[in-house]
Amino acid sequence: MKPFLKLGHQTVRVIVGSEYEAQESFTIHKDLICSRSPFFRKALAGSWKEAAEQIVPLPSDDPEIFQWYLQALYAGDLRVQGMTTSGQLYPILGGVFVLADKLQDVGVMNVVIRTIYELGSPKDYYELFFEMVTTVYEGTPGPCPIRGLLTDLYLGNDFHITATDTSLLRVLDGVPQEFLRDVAFGMMTEDPCILRSRHFWKSRSVETYLEPDPEVEGDMSASECF
């Protein structure tokens, strides 16, 4: 059973997007966001302008992705009704992970990882899968658990069967070289018997791919916002 959220009574505004493009204002519970995100905890503390006004601007971020971030923050789940295919979630999941990484919200990062793991085989949506791969690799600084999951998902699927050579190669042209190196390294180091087993990542617990969460381990307090 999931623990009750500690929302508190105070709220803060988050202005997402550039004033020259699409910009939206979100009102969120201060205790919740401070308990999950060191980024917000620091922004809303001390003598910062954001702390005085209780408004945090995120001009370089996408309002739609922030809305999905809030879905994960409040509900702890990113699978919602209305998505016609699971593949439609892939680009969203990549964006939410990168945003959560920026906000230092390991809890939401792990919601994304669990969702990708549970979605399973991406073979029917390989273009959307590679869009997510590109977002994650371009938005994360180096080796991390989600990269390992994305590599294993690729190695454990038969993309060459479901896509023609030309279409798959066209998509791979835009994939980060780091991902292709990780795939090549996996092919050289994994047990061949494991690689021949489709969906082999399912033999590994999802915990294998999760980020360690200092907010849970250290029981950080939202009182640092005040």
Locate 21 and state its tokens: 């493009």
Report which of 147, 55, 64, 59 is spatially closest to residue 101, judged by C-alpha positions.
Answer: 147
Would you list the DSSP string of 15-75?
A: EES-TTS--EEEEEEHHHHHHH-HHHHHHTSTT-HHHHHTEEEETTS-HHHHHHHHHHHHH
The amino acid occupying position 163 is A
Radius of gyration of the chain (CA): 19
Locate 62 and state its tokens: 């996408």
User: Domain boundaries in the chain?
Assistant: 12-60, 63-213
Model pLDDT for residues 24-54, shown as the tens digit of each residue? 999 999 999 999 999 999 999 878 788 889 9
Task: Tell me what pLDDT residue 57 has.
Answer: 95
Q: Burial level of 113, CB count in 10 A (0-12/13-18/19+)?
A: buried
Model pLDDT for residues 77-108, shown as the tens digit of each residue? 987 666 656 778 899 999 999 999 999 999 99
Model pLDDT for residues 183-203, shown as the tens digit of each residue? 888 888 877 666 666 667 777
Please state, rounded to an integer, the average pLDDT across all residues of the chain: 84
Sign of CA dihedral 47, 49, 53, 56: negative
Higher pLDDT, 57 or 157: 57
Are 112 and 93 in contact by the 8 Å Cβ rule? The answer is yes
Q: Which residues pair with 12 in a beta bridge?
A: 28
Model pLDDT for residues 108-120, shown as the tens digit of each residue? 999 999 999 988 7
Report which of 73, 78, 71, 74 is spatially closest to residue 93, judged by C-alpha positions.
Answer: 78
The pTM (predicted TM-score) of the whole model is 0.86
